[in-house]
Amino acid sequence: MGYCTCSIMYGFAGGADNIAYLTQDESDTSFKILYASTIIYAPLAMTVKVTLLLVLARIYSPFRGVIAVYVLLALNVLYYFIILFIKAFICDPVSAYWTEMTRPKGSGTCLDRSAVIIADSLISVISDIAIFVLPVVFTWPLQMRKKVKIKVISLLGLGGIAVGFSLYRLVLLIVDGNSPDQSILFMRVLLSGNAEGGIGLICACLPALSKYITLRRQNRRPSQRDQENAGCVKANPIFDGSSNCNNNGFAGASLQSHMETRIWRGSEGSAVDAAGTMPLQSEISRSSAGRNSPLTIRTNVVVHRESENNPEYSPS
């Protein structure tokens, strides 16, 4: 965020304009921001590359080739500490960095800024290529399908895409390093650095993001018990899922119904409500042996015939 903010501030301070059209204050302000951005870039690039290398080391450990990852990691950390020190004290005094064009001769000395940035870009290209190649070297000998290999290499080697922006910055500085329009040149350098750092951060998060998406998909899938009980519900809508369908079938399920009888008068043939009802209560149960156990049906029928003493009752 700091590097991106510096790039935006540099553009508004006049970095996007030709240096010949800038006032003295605008020129000093833009180069102050440029100095701050060069200091911020070193820890940004180091953090991104160290993160990518640690991801590789964790995935391929205890593979013997992981030693190369740790060696590259140590070299990157050492280099970026050195380059940070060089960029911080590139001028003596430091204020000479942004007053180079207006200060009196002999009032300060600076190293060649273009040479420092070219060296930095060259190291970035080499390290980015190494980060891209290592997953290919480690993954290709593994016993897995080519489709899976390509997927793993793509996921872990995407950080190497930043090599394109590092290479662009290197060519830009070599070709236009002595251009009199230094403000626009450094604006392009800042933009390429933003692209390199942003892509690196995104790629460093991809393995964790892939794992998170996989876990989310697994959590959305129904459990094995839910899939088993789904068949029970279709076969018996009364099943409430409180027990395992495979182990206890229709345990506890009951079917209750009532059968109403109607008694006819002999001569009139008109139907009247029955004096009694026949409650039919059936229980369907299955033993704990499962679906293949014998089905037991027990029915209790109670009949009340209170109409036999009725003189109007005539059996049909």
Q: Using the predicted structure, report yes or no on whether residue 75 has a pLDDT greater than 80.
A: yes
pLDDT at 81: 92
Per-residue pLDDT at 269: 42
What percent of the chain stands above pLDDT 70?
Answer: 65
More confident residue, 49 or 200: 49
Q: What is the pLDDT of residues 84-94, one digit of tens each?
A: 999 888 888 88
**Domain segments of the chain: what residues?**
2-210, 242-309
Average predicted confidence (pLDDT) for the chain: 71
Q: Identify the pLDDT of residue 225.
A: 57
115 or 221, higher pLDDT? 115
**Lowest model confidence (mean pLDDT) among 15-19, 51-55, 209-213:** 15-19
Residue 82: per-residue pLDDT: 92
Q: List pLDDT tens digits, range 180-210.
A: 777 788 888 888 888 888 887 887 787 778 7
pLDDT of residue 127: 86
* 3-class SS letters over the chain: CHHHHHHHHHHHHHHCCCHHHCCHHHHHHHHHHHHHHHHHHHHHHHHHHHHHHHHHHHHHCCCCCHHHHHHHHHHHHHHHHHHHHHHHCCEECHHHHCCCCCCCCCCCEECCHHHHHHHHHHHHHHHHHHHHHHHHHHHCCCCCCHHHHHHHHHHHHHHHHHHHHHHHHHHHHHHHCCCCCHHHHHHHHHHHHHHHHHHHHHHHHHHHHHHHHHHHHHHHCCCHHHHHHHHHHHHCCCCCCCCCHHHHCCCCCEEEEEEEEEEECCCCCCEEEEEEEEEEEEEEEECCCCCCCCEEEEEEECCCCHHHHCCCCCCC
Over the stretch 225-266, which tens digit does the pLDDT of each residue have?
A: 555 555 555 555 544 555 555 544 444 443 344 444 343 444
